[in-house]
């Protein structure tokens, strides 16, 4: 599963835009966000369902833009 996080100048912290089954779907959503706001920063993270000691979902950054 892939998560798309978007950060804009007006945001306090990156916000999750959505969760996607495939990397291609997440990339399309990221392109849409970038086309709407060129200053937006996005990060696509892959999750495997595992949790760390603090109960947070483990993620790996796949793409930044």
Residues 6+ apart with CB under 8 A from 41: 6, 7, 8, 14, 64, 65
pLDDT digits (tens, 9 = 90+) for 34-57: 999 888 999 999 998 899 999 998
- Work out the mean pLDDT of the chain and round it to a whole number: 92
User: Does 29 score more than 90 pLDDT?
Assistant: yes
Separation between Cα atoms, residue 3 and residue 62, nearest integer Å: 10
What pLDDT does residue 28 have?
96
Q: What percent of the chain has pLDDT over 70?
A: 100
What pLDDT does residue 63 have?
94
Q: pTM for this one?
A: 0.85
Extents of the domains making up the chain: 2-64
């Amino acid at each position: 599963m892939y998560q798309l996080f978007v950060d804009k100048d007006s945001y306090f912290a990156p916000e999750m835009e959505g969760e996607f089954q495939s990397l291609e779907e997440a990339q399309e959503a990221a392109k849409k966000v970038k086309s709407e706001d060129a200053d937006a920063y996005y990060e696509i993270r892959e999750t495997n369902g595992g949790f760390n000691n603090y109960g947070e979902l483990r993620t790996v950054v796949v793409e930044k833009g």
